[in-house]
Structures are given as structure tokens and as C-alpha cells.
Amino acid sequence: MGGQDERGERILDAAGELLLAWGYRRVTIDEVARRAKVGKGTVYLHWRTKDALLLAVVLRRKLEGQRRQLTRVRRDPREALPSRMMRGAYLDIVEDPVLRALHLVDADVLGKLNDVAHRELAALMGEGQRALERYFTLLRGHGLVRDEGDVARQCYLCTATTTGFITSEGLLGKDAPFDPQTRAGLLEQTLRAALETSAEPRPERMAEAAREVVALFGHVEELCLAELRRQVRA
């Protein structure tokens, strides 16, 4: 890794720490530079504005989450099933403060960055939704999810159920029952019962589907990386 890349990572680390500690409104480029031990001009060498910098913080966390998800599928093909993928995604979100703030629309942490993210990342989120539809079509073709109803209904059920579990984190806070692993297990059980076939998938079929899922979401990962690079000053 070159010196410029190392400085950029250090700046992102500092910006992420300050975003969580102070919230969007109080973070300044001066303080990011001070914490990253670089000059203020060096920060602007990488990002044009504070919004671009903090959006890059969010994008990097999303990219890391996607990579963890694909690593799980490569390690165990059964992780390509909706119940297992959403279980992992749920834990990634609740255990990562930046992703948690983003998904819970935490105004204290993200401030207007929530609006910036939804505006700037609209195309990326749209591609993610299309990938989800292709994902369910793929799994139906392998006989791994039920084929009654249409793909759009399955996508909605999967997204709405997972979103409900995540939203409950913000609503219940410290009063949430059980531990995160147990709550993730409940999400897994719910999605398995609602979406997946009851038969144990044959290993060779599961392995083939997992390879296709990795390729599908690997493309989304590449788009996320491209967007992260786009935020860097040319």
C-alpha cells in the first residue's frame, strides 16, 4: 500500500472515530486532520468536503460488511441461504456502530449525512435491490427457496422481516430481550420457515448456488468500491 493510501485510511479511521464520538454536526476537518496526524490540506487532497469524507466512512463500513458476508459464503455454502445471509447481515449491522446508526437513522450520530447518503447512494441501493431479486430467482432455480408466489413478494418479506429486527434494536435499546446472537437466531428461524424449502439441500447443489451468489454479490461489492473511489478527489 502506498503512502497516499495509508494516509487516506488513517483519515477515514479518524473521521469514523469522531463521527461516533461527537456526531455529524460537531465533526470538523480540522479535528479529523489533528486526530489523523496530517495537515488539513492533506484531508482536502483526498475529499472535497466533510460530507464526502463522512460518506466515505459509511461506504467503507458497508463494503467491509459485504466482504464479510461473501467470506462466510465462501467458507460455508449454506451461508448463501436467505436465513443465514440475513442472520450474518443483522449481526454485522448491530455490532458495527456506523452501520447501526445508518440503519436506525440515528440523527444524533449521522445528522444530515442520512439524507446525503440516501441521495448520493440511490443508484447503488437500487442496484442492491435488483441484486436481491436476482438472488431469489437464482435460489428458486436451485430449489433452495419456495416457488409459490413471485420473487417480489419474497424480496419484500426478507427485507421487511430483517428491517423489523434491526429497527427493534433502536426501539428496545437496552431492554431488548436475549443477546444479539439469540436475536439473530430468531431472525434465522423466521426466514427459514417463511422462505426456504424443508428438504436439506444436497451439498453439490448448495455449492453451485453459493458460487453464483458470490459472483452476484461480488458485483455489488465492486460497485460499492467504485462509489467509494468516486468520493475521492480526482
**Domain CATH for 33:** 1.10.10.60
Are 111 and 18 members of one domain?
Answer: no
Average pLDDT of the chain? 92
Query: What is the share, in percent, of the chain residues with pLDDT greater than 90?
Result: 78
Instruction: Check if the beta carbon of residue 155 is closer than 8 Å to that of residue 136.
Output: yes
Are 38 and 68 members of one domain?
Answer: no
Q: How much is the pLDDT for 184?
A: 97
Q: What is the pLDDT of residues 7-21, one digit of tens each?
A: 899 999 999 999 999
Are 33 and 74 members of one domain?
Answer: no
Are 87 and 41 members of one domain?
Answer: no
- Average confidence (pLDDT) over 54-74: 94
Cα–Cα nearest to 232, from 3, 5, 1? 5
Q: How much is the pLDDT for 3?
A: 47
Q: What is the pLDDT of residues 116-139, one digit of tens each?
A: 888 888 888 899 999 999 999 999
Q: How much is the pLDDT for 38?
A: 95
Q: How much is the pLDDT for 234?
A: 42
DSSP assignment string, 186-218: HHHHHHHHHHB-SSPPPHHHHHHHHHHHHHHHH
Q: Please name the residue that has the C-alpha cell 472535497.
A: 48
CATH number assigned to the domain comprising residue 189: 1.10.357
- Average confidence (pLDDT) over 154-170: 96
Are 206 and 124 members of one domain?
Answer: yes
Q: How much is the pLDDT for 233?
A: 63
Are 113 and 193 members of one domain?
Answer: yes
- Rounded (10°) CA dihedral 17, 23, 25, 27: -10
Are 72 and 184 members of one domain?
Answer: yes
Domain with 3 in it: 1-46
Q: How much is the pLDDT for 198?
A: 85
Q: Is residue 128 part of a domain?
A: yes
- Average confidence (pLDDT) over 210-234: 89
Q: What is the pLDDT of residues 168-220, one digit of tens each?
A: 999 998 899 999 999 999 999 999 999 999 888 899 999 999 999 999 999 99
Instruction: Check if the beta carbon of residue 149 is closer than 8 Å to that of residue 200.
Output: no
Q: In terms of pTM, does the model score above 0.75?
A: yes
Are 145 and 204 members of one domain?
Answer: yes
Are 17 and 102 members of one domain?
Answer: no
β-strand partners of 196: 145
In terms of pLDDT, which residue wins out, 120 or 71? 71
Query: What is the share, in percent, of the chain residues with pLDDT greater than 70?
Result: 97
Are 5 and 34 members of one domain?
Answer: yes
Count up the domains in the chain and report the number: 2
Are 167 and 141 members of one domain?
Answer: yes
Encoded amino acid at 166, one letter: I
Q: How much is the pLDDT for 1?
A: 40
Band of residue 113 on the pLDDT scale cut at 50, 70, 90: confident
Q: Please name the residue that has the C-alpha cell 466482504.
A: 67
Q: Is the pLDDT of residue 143 over 50?
A: yes
- Average confidence (pLDDT) over 14-41: 95
